[in-house]
Amino acid sequence: MNDFASVSDVAASHADSPKTLAEAAYRQLRRDIIEGIHHPGDKLRVEHLKDQYSVGAGTLREALQLLVTDALVVAQGQRGFRVAPISLDDFEDITRTRVLLETVALQQSIELGDDNWEASVVAAFHMLSRAEDKLEDGTDAAREEWEERNRVFHEVLISACPSRWVRHFQNILYLQSERYRRLSLFRQPISRDVHAEHQAIVDAALARNAQEATRILTEHILRTLEAVRKLPANLLS
């Protein structure tokens, strides 16, 4: 049997309650950066943010250092921290690299995944579809749930890939693309049926058609890049 994560394993790995104040502040700050509450290039002043996030200065600095590791925040020596910039060139690089890794991982998962992997893929797609139904509510909670279910779906698809490093770097690239994806998803600069795209990936994967599945996955990822290219230039600066 292949060693891969189930839907519940993947979801739980990101849904556990924070164990420290620094981790809680990190999660809140990360969410606010991804959602654009803190804009690219904004200075993150510890003396202001510690009150906003109800933590001490040392705890907040620890959270900011974790965000530096995520490449969402830039440390400027003695000048403090800023939100990492975004650019079309950056997202193109993220996208190209993600396609390389994720298609290889999906091909290997299709070749090596067992019945439990198939069941996890079906379950992840079902949970994502349920989250899609709630997007019409237009609430922050619905968008947050969809983004989490989408992450789990893509992670489960490649969970039978035997290389933990490929899976690890795919996850980093997915998270790095999150700011860009949210910009495009909720402004809808191009017409697309994301549900149908996901369905096609699942159908090809369950049919064990690795060539078709990786082709559709590539187009799916590149469609987000196409959408970001259509966004107003001021949103990517």
More confident residue, 221 or 12: 221
| pLDDT tier for residue 3 given thresholds of 50, 70 and 90 | low
For 174-194, the pLDDT digits (tens) are 988 988 888 887 677 788 899
What is the mean pLDDT of the segment spanning 190-214? 95
Instruction: Report, in angstroms and rounded to the nearest whole number, the Rg of the chain calculated over CA atoms.
Output: 18
More confident residue, 176 or 219: 219
DSSP-derived secondary structure for 117-171: HHHHHHHHHHHHHHHHHHGGG--HHHHHHHHHHHHHHHHHHTTT-S-HHHHHHHH
The tokens for 205 are 């994967």
What is the mean pLDDT of the segment spanning 141-153? 90
More confident residue, 146 or 205: 205
How far is 172 from 180, CA to CA, in rounded Å? Answer: 14
Non-local CB neighbours of 183 within 8 Å, separated by 6+ positions? 36, 228, 231, 235, 236
The domains located in the chain, with CATH, are: 15-83 (1.10.10.10), 87-236 (1.20.120.530)
Mean of the per-residue pLDDT values for the chain?
89
Non-local CB neighbours of 52 within 8 Å, separated by 6+ positions? none
Number of other CB atoms surrounding residue 177 within 10 Å? 19
How far is 4 from 105, CA to CA, in rounded Å? Answer: 12
How far is 62 from 18, CA to CA, in rounded Å? Answer: 14
In the prediction, which pLDDT does 78 show? 75
